[in-house]
Amino acid sequence: MQRPPRFFCGIDWASQVNDVAVIDTRSGAVQHLRIAATPEGVAELLTVLSGLLASHQHSRKLVPIAIETNQGLLVHALRARGQTIFQIPPTEMALYRRYRSVTKKKADRSDAVLLAMLLHERWGQLQPLPQTSPAAEAITVLTRAQHQAQLLREKLQAKLRRLLHQVHPAAVNAWEGRDFGLRRAEARAVLAAGPTAEAAQRLTQYRLTKILAPVRLRLVDDEAYRLRDLFAVPVLRLPRDIEIASAVEVRALLSQFDHACQSTDKLTAQLSEAFLNHEQAAVYLSFPGCGALTGARLLAELGDDPNRFASPRGLRAYAGVAPLTWSSGKSRQVTHRHICNRRLKAVCHQWAFTSLTRSPGARAHYDQRRAAGDTYAGALRRVAGHLLSGLHHCLTTGASYDEQQAFPLRENPA
C-alpha cells in the first residue's frame, strides 16, 4: 500500500452498534452502515468493502480502516482477515472534530466520516497497527492484568498499614525494614490470628510456631519468640467493644489484601512463564538489569513486529527518552518528551536504574551525565536511551547484549 488507496474507511466503535463510513479520494461519502461486533456484522462490512469497485485489481484489503482503539473483538476480527487498521487517539480525533466543525457537534455517523477523512488527509504520516504475534499480544494482556493487580495490592497494603497504626501499632513495627513488609506470607498469617493488640498478646510461642511453620522455611522458633516478646510489650488499647469491631475490620481488609497478594503472585508467575517461552526472551534477558518481569513489560509495549521501528531513534522517541528540542529565533530549549508511551517510559526508568549496579558502562555514563548537570531523571533517560538503542540492534540482528558495543567509550574493569 505504498500508493494512496482509492477508498478510506472510518469506524466509530461503541459497545452495541458501530457506525461505519467509507469515503473516496475526493472525501465524498460512498457508503454508510451500522454493524455489530458479531460474525455477521464483520461479514457485512467486508462485503461492502469488496463491492466498492468492480475491478479485478480491487480488494477489500486495500481499504485502510481508522478506529479510535487498538483492542476489542471487532479490531481483532478485522486484523485476522487481513485488514489494515490505523488507530487514531481520541484526543487527536477531538482536535480534528473541532477543526472541521464550527459548531463542535458530535454524532456517531459524522465521527465515522471524520475518522476516514483524517486518515485520508494524513495518509503517509500515520502508522498502522504493528503485526504483533498472538504470543506477544498474550504477554501484553498478562502484563496489563499483572500491573493492575500489583497496583491494587499496593493500595490495600497502604490502607492496611494505616488501619494497623490506629489499632495495632506493634504489628506495623513487627516486619518493618524486612523485605516486602506486610506482604510477607508470615505477616499475613500472624495478623489473621492476632488482628488487634489484645488478640496478639494472647498468642503464645507455641501458637506462633504453628502459625509460622507452613509459611516460613527457617528459624521458625526464633521468629516465634521475637514476635511473642514484641506483642507482650504493654501498649495503649482501645475500649473493648471498639477493639472487637476493629478486629472484624482488620480481618476483612486482610482478606482482600491476602487475595490481592495471591492474585499478583499467580499473574506474575504466569507472565514470567509466557515471556520465557517467547523466542525473543533470550535477547531481553541478556541485558543488564532486565529480568523476566521487566523483559515482559518491555515486550508487551514494543511487540515483536520487526518492522515497527525503522531506527533506534524512533524507538527512543516512542519511549519518551529521546530529547525534544524547542527552537525559535535565538531561543533554544532541550527538554524531555511528554507525549509518548507512558507505560514503556516507566519501565525504561526502572530498567535504567537497576542497570546502574549491573553494568559498569551504564554507571559511568550516568555519572558523566550527572557531572554535566543533568537531573537524576534526565541522566536515567540518557542511560535508557543507550539501552534501547542496544535493544533495537539486538532484536534486529538476533545478537545478545555486548557491554563494549553498548558503551564503547567506557573501559570496563576485568
Backbone angle region of 317, left / alpha / beta, with phi > 0 → left and psi within -120 to 50 → alpha: alpha
CA distance 174 to 180: 12
At 213, the amino acid letter reads A
- N-term to C-term CA, the chain: 52
CA distance 103 to 397: 52
**Containing H/E element for 326?**
strand 324-328
Q: What is the DSSP letter of 60?
A: G
Residue 203 half-sphere exposure toward CB, CA atoms < 13 A = 30
Grid coordinates representing 6 are: 482509492
pTM score = 0.86
Q: What is the pLDDT of residue 2?
A: 59
Crossing angle of helices 292-302 and 240-276, rounded to 10°: 70
Grid coordinates representing 295 are: 523483559
**Containing H/E element for 45?**
helix 39-50
pLDDT along the chain (414 residues), means of 10: 82 89 85 91 93 86 92 91 92 86 76 92 90 93 96 95 91 88 92 92 92 90 92 88 92 95 96 95 95 96 91 92 80 80 94 95 93 92 94 93 81 44
The residue whose grid cell reads 486495500 is: 62
CA distance 13 to 36: 9
Residues 6+ apart with CB under 8 A from 128: 64, 84, 85, 86
The residue whose grid cell reads 500489583 is: 150
Q: What is the pLDDT of residue 409?
A: 63
CA distance 122 to 134: 29
**Containing H/E element for 220?**
helix 220-232
CA angle 73, 78, 79 (to 5 degrees): 100
3-state secondary structure of 335: strand
At 163, the amino acid letter reads L
pLDDT tens, 226-247? 999 999 998 888 888 898 999 9
The residue whose grid cell reads 535477547 is: 283
Cα 63 to its chain centre, rounded Å, is 31
Of residues 134, 70, 49, 68, the one with CA closest to residue 106: 68
Of residues 210, 218, 217, the one with CA closest to residue 194: 210
The residue whose grid cell reads 498474550 is: 138
Residues facing residue 19 across a β-bridge: 12, 34
Please state, in angstroms and as integers, the Cα–Cα distance from residue 126 to each residue in 3, 66, 162, 354, following that order: 14, 10, 48, 34
pLDDT tens, 338-391? 888 899 999 999 999 999 999 999 999 999 999 999 899 999 999 999 999 999
CA distance 29 to 210: 74
Residues 6+ apart with CB under 8 A from 294: 284, 347, 350, 351, 354
Q: What is the pLDDT of residue 334?
A: 74
Crossing angle of helices 39-50 and 73-80, rounded to 10°: 50
Q: What is the pLDDT of residue 57?
A: 83
Grid coordinates representing 51 are: 463491492
Residues 6+ apart with CB under 8 A from 343: 147, 297, 300, 301
CA distance 361 to 357: 10
Of residues 218, 164, 156, 159, the one with CA closest to residue 186: 218
